[in-house]
Amino acid sequence: MIQAGIVGATGYTGVELVRLLAGHPQVNLKVITSRAEAGTAVADLFPNLRGHLEITFSSPDIKALKSCDVVFFATPNGTAMDMVDELLEAGVRVIDLAADFRIKDVDVWQQWYGMKHACPDYVTEAVYGLPELNREAIKGARLVANPGCYPTAVSLGFLPLLEKGLVDTSDLVADTKSGVSGAGRKGDIGLLMAELEGNFKAYAAAGHRHLPEIRQTLGLAAGQEVGLTFVPHLLPMVRGIHATLYASLSDPNGDLQALYESRFADEPFVDVLPAGAHPETRSVRGVNMCRLAVHRPQDGDKVVILSVIDNLVKGAAGQAVHNMNLMFGLPETTALQQIAVLP
Report the percentage of the chain scoring pLDDT > 90.
94
pLDDT of res. 187: 77
For domain 2-125, the CATH class is alpha beta
Distance CA 21, CA 144 (A): 17
Digit-coded pLDDT (tens) for 204-213: 999 999 999 9
Residues of the chain with CATH 3.30.360.10: 150-311
Can you list the positions of beta strands (E) in the chain?
2-7, 27-33, 70-73, 93-96, 127-128, 143-145, 172-178, 201-202, 228-234, 241-248, 270-272, 290-295, 302-309
Distance CA 147, CA 97 (A): 7
- 316-318-322 Cα angle (round to 5): 115
Residues of the chain with CATH 3.40.50.720: 2-125
Contacts of 125 (CB under 8 A, 6+ apart): 142, 143
Measure CA of the first residue to CA of the last residue in the chain; give whole Å: 35
pLDDT of res. 155: 98
- SS3 of 71, please? strand
> What residues are annotated to the active site?
149
Residue 74 has pLDDT above 90, yes or no: yes
Residue 179 has pLDDT above 90, yes or no: yes
Query: Which residue in 248, 260, 254, 253 sits closest to 301, CA to CA?
Result: 248
The CATH architecture that domain 150-311 belongs to is 2-Layer Sandwich (3.30)
Distance CA 56, CA 54 (A): 7
